[in-house]
């Protein structure tokens, strides 16, 4: 006789908890999400129909997903989706899994783009499109440009834009600012910022994510240096550059911004109080100090 959904939940939550060091609660949620994914039913169905058997045609695909998870593959890649800033984004291993920390960058960016203004915003290294799409949805009158060096990432980001019905994003393939013309009111980026030999790269989700989305030279700051070094050529007077960085990089990023002539250099903490996003304003000598938004 086939095991019931409730039996499977009990059995596999223990296997997952043991294999991945999850709490019972986290492991139960993951088993329910995997079962729900193969059954194409919400979690509430599993709870309401716990005594239903898991039929053999479904058991095989479920076991395949469970075994991927037992090897440590992130849920977001197995399910092919992740929620970010209230949007459901589709993902593949070609893109970084958007993190809640990055919502700090979105919030900080929104504080510099007043609603009902037409700002030109650039998101460098857009990956799944998480930041660009959140900003474009929150500020529909603004025009967002999103770029990445990875064609696979851009395809995923464009598909997310299409599915979410976001019209005000232009997509660009290139190496940071390469090929981008015009000037922007706001440039944001969550670039790779992990040092090449960081031991965290061998642990958890990071083992499965694309290295070019994570690693940036020996100290993790190579991409940030390049972006800060070139940003002034792409910012309008009074425009802002905002960068997500590692928990221990804020002071170095502030120093880099100041050394390149940025003003009002500051850092925004994430919800855990960790310095997560640093920013500066570009004010060319002799330019008026008002932000260059077009009402």
Ligand X SMILES: C[S@@+](CC[C@H](N)C(=O)[O-])C[C@H]1O[C@@H](n2cnc3c(N)ncnc32)[C@H](O)[C@@H]1O
Rg (CA), the chain: 22
CB nearer to ligand X: give 53 or 210.
Answer: 210
Q: Is 252 one of the binding residues for ligand X (CB under 6 A)? A: no
Binding string, residues 106-125; x marks residues near ligand X by CB under 6 A: -------------------x
Rounded to whole angstroms, the Cα distance separating 178 from 51 reads: 58
243 neighbors 131 (Cβ within 8 angstroms):
no
Pick one of 49, 68, 81, 212: the residue that binds ligand X (CB under 6 A).
Answer: 212
Rounded to whole angstroms, the Cα distance separating 196 from 209 reads: 14
Alpha helices by DSSP H, listed for the chain, are: 5-20, 24-39, 43-48, 56-70, 75-79, 102-110, 130-138, 151-164, 211-214, 222-231, 250-259
Q: Is 246 one of the binding residues for ligand X (CB under 6 A)? A: no
Rounded to whole angstroms, the Cα distance separating 174 from 53 reads: 51
Q: Is 280 one of the binding residues for ligand X (CB under 6 A)? A: no
Stretch that binds ligand X, among 69-77, 142-150, 233-241, 274-282 (CB under 6 A): 142-150
Q: Looking at residues 182 to 211 of the shown chain, list those that interact with ligand X (rule: CB under 6 A).
A: 190-192
Q: Is 242 one of the binding residues for ligand X (CB under 6 A)? A: no
Rounded to whole angstroms, the Cα distance separating 131 from 279 reads: 16
Binding string, residues 154-183; x marks residues near ligand X by CB under 6 A: ---------------------xx-------
Q: Is 103 one of the binding residues for ligand X (CB under 6 A)? A: no
Q: Is 268 one of the binding residues for ligand X (CB under 6 A)? A: no
Q: How far is CA 41 from CA 30, 35, 44, 46, 122, in A?
A: 14, 8, 8, 8, 38
Pick one of 104, 150, 168, 267: the residue that binds ligand X (CB under 6 A).
Answer: 150
Q: Is 79 one of the binding residues for ligand X (CB under 6 A)? A: no
End-to-end distance of the chain based on CA atoms, in angstroms?
68
Q: C-beta of 157: minimal distance to ligand X in Å?
A: 9
Q: C-beta of 223: minimal distance to ligand X in Å?
A: 6
Residues contributing to the site for ligand X (CB under 6 A):
95-96, 98, 102, 125-128, 130-131, 148-150, 153, 175-176, 190-192, 212-213, 223
């Amino acid at each position: 006789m086939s095991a019931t959904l409730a039996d499977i939940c009990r059995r596999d939550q223990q296997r997952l908890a043991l294999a991945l060091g999850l709490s019972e609660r986290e492991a139960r949620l993951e088993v329910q999400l995997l079962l729900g994914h193969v059954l194409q039913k919400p979690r509430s169905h599993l709870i309401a129909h716990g005594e239903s058997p898991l039929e053999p045609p479904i058991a095989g695909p479920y076991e395949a997903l469970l075994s991927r998870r037992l090897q440590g593959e992130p849920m977001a890649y197995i399910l092919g989706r992740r929620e970010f800033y209230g949007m459901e984004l589709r993902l593949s291993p070609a893109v970084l899994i958007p993190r809640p920390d990055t919502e700090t960058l979105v919030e900080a960016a929104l504080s510099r783009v007043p609603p009902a203004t037409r700002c030109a915003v650039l998101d460098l290294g857009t990956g799944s499109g998480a930041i660009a799409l959140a900003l474009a949805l929150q500020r529909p009158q603004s025009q967002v440009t999103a770029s990445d060096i990875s064609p696979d990432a851009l395809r995923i980001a464009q598909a997310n834009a299409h599915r979410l019905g976001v019209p005000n994003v232009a997509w660009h393939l290139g190496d940071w600012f390469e090929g981008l013309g015009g000037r922007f009111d706001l440039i944001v980026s969550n670039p790779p910022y992990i040092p090449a030999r960081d031991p965290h790269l061998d642990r958890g989700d990071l083992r499965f994510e694309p290295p070019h989305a994570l690693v940036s030279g020996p100290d993790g700051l190579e991409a940030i240096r390049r972006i800060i070094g070139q940003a002034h050529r792409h910012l309008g007077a009074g425009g802002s550059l905002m960068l997500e960085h590692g928990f221990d990089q804020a002071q170095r990023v502030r120093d880099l911004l100041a050394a390149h002539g940025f003003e009002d250099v500051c850092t925004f903490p994430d919800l855990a109080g960790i310095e997560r996003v640093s920013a500066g304003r570009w004010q060319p000598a002799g330019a008026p100090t008002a932000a260059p938004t077009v009402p």
